[in-house]
Each structure stands twice: as structure tokens, then as C-alpha cells.
Chain A
Amino acid sequence: MTNGLNLKLKIWRQKNQSSDGQLKDYHVKDISPDMSFLEMLDTLNEELESNGEEPVAFEHDCREGICGSCSMVVNGKPHGPERGTTVCQLHMRRFSDGDTLVIEPWRAKAFPIIKDLVVERSAFDRIIAAGGFITARTGSAPDGNAVQIPKEHAELAMDAAACIGCGACVAACKNASAMLFVAAKVSHLSLLPQGKVEARKRVLDMVKVMDQEGFGNCTNTQACEVECPKEIKIENIARLNREWIKASAAARDV
């Protein structure tokens, strides 16, 4: 390879949840600019493995930016320096020869580290279980076209529904708040007529579990929107707040 990159890596290594971790130095040579960031890590790992050393554990699966598995902070930014991009879709042409890359896991109380760059994000599943759904028992649905949904509502709902549940919003937030994640789901469902029936209970239950799980509060720094690989807008948080206030007021009424 003629224009390969030589890079210095500082990677967080941690054996398990109860042990201490530290940044460790590695070098990789001749990295093709066409490689994805994860392929660069694959290259490092293969080298480690053939030397009988333990490779760096990291989560990844689809490598197409949609499953939400990959989750690492590169030089202080969740998913690395490119806007609107998961780290699996980040390509090495974005970096220069001789760069130093610091690679760390998501850091948040609600996302404990399991090993190296792998964190536990099941708190998100518990938030969804609390209310992030529209109850529609299999077999009970009316015809798909029975209810018209204005195109702009469907589009807005889709913008919010594009969330991949990766947790970058939490990792980006100095308060480790999950408001953007929760807001995306609440918006997606409350913007649709099907979602109105359960709207009040949904938002109250989801926010309650969000707080129980140890996520911080939102102080409107907007870091989450900047780092979201799917560019979910913080206007969803405004909608979440409106829904929550409406629901809380109504809960007092009855």
C-alpha cells in the first residue's frame, strides 16, 4: 500500500466490570484510507491475536450504521469526528498519517463497562419496556389505510424513529442524560394518531424508568444533537417536555 497511514492508538483496556482500566498504547501501520475505523481495529486485533495477546473487545455487528452496536469515543467524540456517522461508517480517509487516536468506551453511570470498549446498555431496553410501544395485539389491527396520516406527520415521526439506540447521546452529555433517546421514542409514537391513546401513560412511565436507571438531567447543552449519528433533533426533547407536562397535569386532574 503506497499511501497507507501509520497511527498511534491509545485504547482503553479493562478486563471486566470490577477491575480498573487504563489507556494502552498501540501502533498500526499501513492503514488503507479505504478502511473503515472498525477494519482498522480488526487489523490491530488480528496482529494481537497472532501474537497470542488478547484483542480489544468492542461491539459491532451490521457495520452499516443501523444496528447501533458500535459505541466508542474517538478523540473525545462519540463515534469520532464525522457528523452524522456511526464509528463503523467512519473511514480512515478522514485521518492523517501520524495521527494519535484516543479510543474509549461510552462513559455513563447507567452504562457500566463490561470489558474494554464494551458497555452494558440494557437500561435502554428497560425504558422501552416501560412504555415505548403502541399496544396492538396481533390480529386486532384495522386496515392499514383506515386512518390517514398527514405526510408531514409521518415524516416527522420517521425522523424521530430513525434513532438506533446506540447511546451516543448519553456519552456526549456531561450529565449522561438519556433525554434525546427517550424523546425520540416519545416523539415517534405521539406524533402518530395510533400513539395518542397511550400517550400520557407512556411518557410518564418512560421518564420514571429513565430516572431510576441513573441517567442525568437535561441542561440543554445540545451536545447530544451534535453527536447523534442519526442527527436526531433536540426539538424532540422539547416535545417530550410538553408531553410530560401535559401528562403530569392530567394525572393530577384525575
Chain B
Amino acid sequence: MLESHAPTGPIDKSWDNHRFNLKLVNPANKRKYSVLVVGTGLAGASAAASLAELGYHVKAFCIHDSPRRAHSIAAQGGINAAKNYPNDGDSIWRLFYDTVKGGDYRAREANVYRLAQVSNHIIDQCVSQGVPFAREYSGYLANRSFGGAQVSRTFYARGQTGQQLLLGAYQAMMAQVQKGKVELLPRREMMDIVVVDGAARGIVTRNLVTGKMERFDGDAVVLATGGYGNAFFLSTNAKASNVTAAWRCHKRGAFFANPCYTQIHPTCIPVSGSHQSKLTLMSESLRNDGRVWVPKDPSDKRAASDIPDQDRDYYLERRYPSFGNLVPRDVASRAAKAVCDDGRGVGNSGLSVYLDFRDAIKRDSEDLIREKYGNLFHMYEKITGENPYKVPMRIFPAVHYTMGGLWVDYNLMSNLPGLFVLGEANFSDHGANRLGASALMQGLADGYFVAPYTIGGYLANTKLAPLDTTHPAFDDVNREVENQTQKLLNVDGKRTVDDFHRELGRLLWDNCGMARSQASLKKVLDEVPALRENFWRDVSVTGSEGELNQVLERAGRVADFLEFAEVMARDALTREESCGGHFREEHQTKEGEAKRNDDDFCHVAAWEFKGLGNTPTLHKEPLTFDNVPLTQRSYK
């Protein structure tokens, strides 16, 4: 049985009590510990900065040329906090409640409560760092609304909130680099983790410029390497986002929790052709003012502006009158799929719906809409060549975020002692569906306000034998990694890495995407091993090992996606219910809403690796809901 170490007792006191109970490291001793932070997005950079401020010696690794490139930077809409500045009835409890409900009752209550509690400190912290949040004319902070909430609790910096928050964390980290407290190692890809006496003690990285394998030892390893959405090839993730670091940890013993929980974001720019290399998100904040619709009649092929209101179906407003266009993402995505399946989708492919600002422009003026969403409208026009001030945007759901990730306890430590997992890379706070503007909140909560305490607690409580990178465990891992690299280069096949990746993505999107069934998931489990075999027989990896080699980088990541895909499908097949982003066609209500099975599946599914080709072992962490009663989610 998995032990979450979540405190018992009143939930509003649990984090305070837990912090008090964590052992402390003496300030003078902190500098004797070294922590390896892998990934420098919101979670990694904020953790690296905060740990270094405390006095730990930190090494921070990123695959980019600069930590500022991490994909957190692309988050547009905002960050939630329970400040209640608008006086509309928000509170820590309400943010906690909305997040548990939004996650379809598949998150750990104590974690979510803590997240809501520290949310307010995040805003304070970021304002102090100089994050230029939007302001009212009064000079006070402005808020807007996001899906799944009926209060305005989202703080934002135009459509570039992620960028500004990341730059804040990056700058805080760089200040520590200057002080010599953080050693920054850019253009390094973590290839594997080194486990000694059952604890995470180091990593092996590939220097992406020289191609050399490098070894680093530490007293704890922090993984903040993001999600696995790029398994689908087409997603809103950046091209370099990958599962490799998390997957390698999984293969060394860390459990992978709820890999089937994938968020399909409803407002993305539709696919335009087979050349498509990635998809672009249009912020959910657009649903504050844009209205989603399709023609009532499938044969109605008139231009959008020629279709009068009585012939339009504003299907979200019709189906969910109380939340309207601001229903949570999973609900909005499935509704879009339903109208497209119904033959009412628009655009050449029939795979898109309108997001229309006509009424908002009439009500508020084009200038005001430009002030709120100018950069998003600009981006839309650049990509599609259409002017959204004049014609409605066309949108379609796309893979965006992954709620699943490495299993962690309340301390954000995986079952592998000394391995802490932060941000999107862990599974912890969003249950089966993440609410908009909550990813930034969680990444920064983990990095600024949770891990710096809990890592201290671990170090103070653990006796670690001294070691360095000459330890035989490092030799073994190093050899394995080098062998895999050589193996990739030696295949000498004909098909490109992207070609394999695209085929995997198509298979997953069609069979393990917005809707899943027993048959479709079995198909994935049948076909992935064959595709993987093909990959290792016929992939073309050009160039050599000892240089900058982007093909080799991608090949290694795709090789891992080809292994990971199986556990995602297996988890989806095993979870015989629909919840949040996991929609099993066999389990739906008469109205087509997700139907949970709390009797059998009110648990976290954590998978233990048992060797490639072998069925992984399932460990269950039961979830109890003492504070937010389990109910059928309704946004009607």
C-alpha cells in the first residue's frame, strides 16, 4: 500500500502542523548538502532559487540554451489565487473546493488544500519580484475569470502570464547563480538517474553541444521536467518537451501515477495539414468574451457572418446555462467533439467550431477587446491568415497538459527516496482534470513554498553515505546510456524519427484521446510494441554522438514515448470509469457526461515498472473525501 504521508486532522491546519513536524537542517549545515534540480521551468527555477536562498548548494540543469526558454513561458491566461480582491466570495476553501471538484474527485484533498493556501503567497512573491501583473486604474491588481469557477480569481500579465512568472523565477535563480549558490548547466539532457542503496543520488546527463556523458552526484534530485503530452506528437507543448527524465526514473523504480489523465484543451487552432508540427493554444481567457457555436443544421455552409442567431447553436450556453462558455476544459472539449461527430463542425476539415467575439465587440468596443486579447488575436491572424475581429475564430481541442505523472507523497517525494518531483511532472494536485490558470499556481507552489521545506525534512532525517561520481553505480548507468545512444546511431534505417513519432501520435489521438473504449485501448496495446520494434529496426539517426545532434536527441525521446505509450493505454484500459480528461465511451450518463465509478476507482493508480514487455504492477492509493463530498460534477 502506498503511504501518502498526508497529515490527518483538520485540513486547514494540516500544512502548518506538517511543517512544524518536519525536521530542520541547521543553517550552517545546509551548505553541505547538494541538490540537483532538473528542469528550469516555473517549478524547477523557483525551487532552485528558493533552495539556494536557504543555503543549499544547487545544480540546475536545462535542455535549452537558457533556462528562460522552458515551456512554462508559453502559458498565456493567468494564475489563480484565493485573494478575494474582487470581493466576490472567494476564499481558500472555495479555491480548494473548485479544484477538487474540477479534478473530478481524483486528487488528494490535503495536497489541494495546501495548494489553495499557498496560492496567495505566490502572488505576493511574484509582485515583489516585479512581475507586471495587470492593474486596475486604481493601481490595484486586476483579476479575470477562468473555466470551472464562478469567481474572478485569475491574475494575469496580458496574454503572457507564464512568460512573466517564469522570468521572475529565472531572474531569482540567476541572482543565485551570480552569488555562486546555483551552478547553472544549460544544454544538458538528463539521460538517467543513479540510485544508490535505494536512494536517488545522482544523474547522468548528455552535454548537447559536445555529446559527452556527464555525471553529477547529490543528496537529493528534484525532477521538474514537465509533462508527457508530446507522446501525441501534435500537442500545444513545445517541441523539446518530453517524458525521458520521468520515464527513466520510472524504469529505476519510481511509480508512474494516473498516466491516462491527459488534458485536451478546447481552444486551440485547428490542424491545417499533414505538415503540422505542433498546435497552438488560444487562451481559455478568450471564453470570457467569446461565444462558442456551430450551425444548427449540418448542411448549413454559409459564411459565419451570414448565419443569423436563430440558426446558430451556442451549444455550451444551451447545455450548461450556469457556467455557459466557461465550463471546465474537459467538458468543453467533449462538447466540441460531439458537435463535430454530429457533422456540424466548421472549416474545410469539419473539425472545428466557432469562437465568436461579435457580441463582445458590439458591447465593449473593438479597442477594449484589443486591450484584453490583442496579442492572442494577433497570433491567431499570423497562423491562420484570418482576422478574428472580423470573422469568428475557429478552434478545436488539442492535447495540452498531463495531470498524470510520477507518484509523489505529500512531501512531493516519489517512492524512490530522495527523488522529488515538482510541477507538471508529478501527478498530485489536479486529479483527472486541471482547471485553467492552475498549472502556474501548482508549479510555483511546489517550487517556492513546498519543496524547500520538505527537501529539508528529508535531508535532516536521512543518513546518506558519502559518495562521488566514481561510485560503480554511476559507471553502470553511464554505460547503459552510452549503449542506448550507440544502438540508436547503429540502426541506420530509412524512416525519420518524426515519421515514427507522427504514427505513434495518430494512434494515441485516435484511440487514447478525447474518447477511449476497451477496443481502442486494446488496439494501442497491440500496436505499440510492433511500432517500437519497427523503430529500432528502421529509424534513421544521422550524424554522430560527439557533437550537437538534434536527430539523436529526438530519437532518444521518441524511443521513450514508444515505451511510455503502453502504460498510458494500460492505465486507461484498467480505469473502468469516466472522470475528468479520461472519457471511456462505455461509462457515460444519458446526456453524454462522464460517469465516475467511485466504488471501484476512487484511487490513484500508481504503476510499477516490471521490464519492457511485462505487465506493470498496479499499486492503489485510496482517496478519501472528508471535506468535499463526492458528487456527480455538474456545471448545468
Contacts and interface: CB of A to CB of B under 8 A. Distances in A.
Contact of A55 (B64, B126, B133, B551): B551
A69 B275 contact: no
Contact of B551 (A34, A35, A49, A90): A49
A68 interface: yes
Contacts of B100: none
Contacts of A215: none
B382 A139 contact: no
A16 B210 CA distance: 10
B287 interface: no
A217 to B, nearest CB: 24
A133 B70 CA distance: 18
B18 interface: no
Interface residues of A, number: 79
B540 A194 contact: no
Contacts of A66: 73-74, 160, 163
Interface string A24-66: 0000000010111011001100101110111101011111111
A34 B273 contact: yes
Interface string B583-617: 00000000000000000000000000000000000
Given A63-B278, A67-B238, A145 B550 contact: no
A165 B130 contact: no
Nearest to A190: B130
Given A61-B238, A62-B74, A133-B172, A39 B134 contact: no
Contacts of B74: 62, 64, 66-67
Contact of A42 (B124, B160, B275): B275
Interface stretch (B174-182, B246-254, B472-480, B565-573): B174-182
A8 interface: no
A133 B174 contact: yes
A77 interface: no
Question: Which residue of B53, B275, B449, B540 has the most chain A CB atoms within 10 A of its CB atom?
Answer: B275
A151 B139 CA distance: 6
B412 interface: no
Given A50-B540, A91-B383, A150-B139, 5 more contacts: A61-B64, A62-B69, A135-B175, A151-B137, A161-B164
17 contacts: A49-B496, A55-B551, A66-B160, A67-B74, A69-B69, A89-B379, A130-B178, A133-B130, A136-B172, A138-B172, A139-B125, A141-B121, A144-B123, A144-B127, A192-B132, A194-B129, A195-B130
Interface of A: 15-16, 32, 34-36, 38-39, 42-43, 46, 48-50, 52-55, 57, 59-69, 82, 84-85, 89-91, 93, 114-115, 118, 120-122, 124-125, 128-130, 132-145, 147-151, 154, 157-158, 161-162, 164-165, 188-189, 192, 194-195
